[in-house]
Amino acid sequence: MTNVKNSSDAVRFGNTDLPAEQQEALRKAMRIEWATMGFLAVTTTMVFLVLGNSQAMKAAWVEDILSFLPPISFLVAAHAIRKPPSEKHPYGYHRSTGVAHLVAAVALTVMGGYLLVESVLGLLKAEHPTIGGIEIFGNTIWLGWLMMAVMIITSAPPVFLGRAKMKLAEKLHDKVLYADADMNKADWMTAIAAVAGVAGIGFGLWWADYGAALIISASILRDGIGNTRGAVSALMDKRAMTYDDKEPHPLGRQLDEYLRSLDWTRDAKSRIRDEGHVFHVESFVVPAGDSMPTFGQLEAARDACAAMDWKVQDIVIIPVAELPSELLPGPGSGGER
């Protein structure tokens, strides 16, 4: 599709060099993910030191631990996708991004479900959590103050990290990075819930702690289920969606419109396989009249389609007498024309 450069410092997805903008975005995303893990190492330690008997704090701590998964998954996948295609892996290693997405999503789902059940059982048993005091510089203070201070201090940075990751996720078409950014942006809600739960214990409202834990657990479970659904669908070759899975990727429509505009085609329809960052495209074209397109026409069309978007890593154009029925709009097809 494209000429392969031999630059030793180029970042490559399979056999295709990224454009300069995406190369820089990938490097920046990797730096941010390393920074995220450094920040998480500090925050998880701080929260663990003031954990106490609060179920809400325990849930918040577990969420911080789980927050390591998306950055680790992203960095592992970013390394794997640089391997060129081989005989055993002719499509390259781009799907490692989808595998990483699935692993992180399943872990979130399992742990979110466990915490949710544990919080519900604690609430039903009416277990009254207690928070004692701690001696600092000869003075005894209520541990709850430290709990709330830690949660407030550590709540802001993830929001800014999430916003930065969200912009890069769009540039890279990276769903793992998007999932991580989405979780980071919602971390402030976890902090507020944990603070409310600890404050509830202080006011003698023992159930507030479990209520806060339920909110945090439900948030983890929701993130896990949503990401698991998206990761499984992508690995099952669902039609290519935008990086946030909100709508079909517009590239398919653009390719079809271009191919239909050629004077030697009567109709065209493409199916796109999302490999993680890049796409593999199969475009079916019905030639106009009874003559087959020439090799030069097919090559020119293929090059033009590949130039439309950097994500088109590979594309094949297949002349057919009629378009495949599963690509045509109709009951249950979900197709767009």
Tell me the per-residue pLDDT of 265-312, one tens digit each, with 9 for 90 and over: 999 999 998 888 889 899 999 999 878 899 999 999 999 999 999 988
Same-domain pairing of 65 and 210: yes
Here the CATH number for the domain that contains residue 86 is 1.20.1510.10
Does 6 reside within a domain?
no
Same-domain pairing of 94 and 133: yes
pLDDT band at 33 (very low <50, low <70, confident <90, very high): very high
Same-domain pairing of 142 and 277: no
Same-domain pairing of 213 and 294: no
Q: State which residues form the domain around 287.
A: 251-327
Specify whether the backbone of 14 is left (phi greater than 0), alpha (psi in -120 to 50) or beta: left
Here the CATH number for the domain that contains residue 267 is 3.30.300.30
Same-domain pairing of 282 and 169: no
Query: At which of 178, 208, 235 does a domain end?
Result: 235
Rounded-to-integer distance, Cα 37 and Cα 9, Å: 25
Same-domain pairing of 212 and 260: no
Residue 194 has pLDDT above 80, yes or no: yes
* Per-residue pLDDT tens digits for 209-265: 888 888 888 888 888 898 888 888 888 888 888 988 888 999 999 999 999 999 999
Query: At which of 235, 267, 298 does a domain end?
Result: 235
Same-domain pairing of 16 and 64: yes
pLDDT band at 13 (very low <50, low <70, confident <90, very high): very low
Global pTM value:
0.78
Does 241 reside within a domain?
no
Q: What is the arithmetic mean of pLDDT over 178-202?
A: 82
* Per-residue pLDDT tens digits for 107-150: 888 888 888 888 888 888 877 777 777 777 777 777 888 888 98
Structure tokens at 100: 């990483």
Same-domain pairing of 263 and 228: no
Q: What residue has token string 């519900």?
A: 120
What is the number of structural domains in the chain?
Answer: 2
pLDDT band at 58 (very low <50, low <70, confident <90, very high): confident
Is residue 50 within 8 Å of residue 150, measured between CB atoms?
A: yes
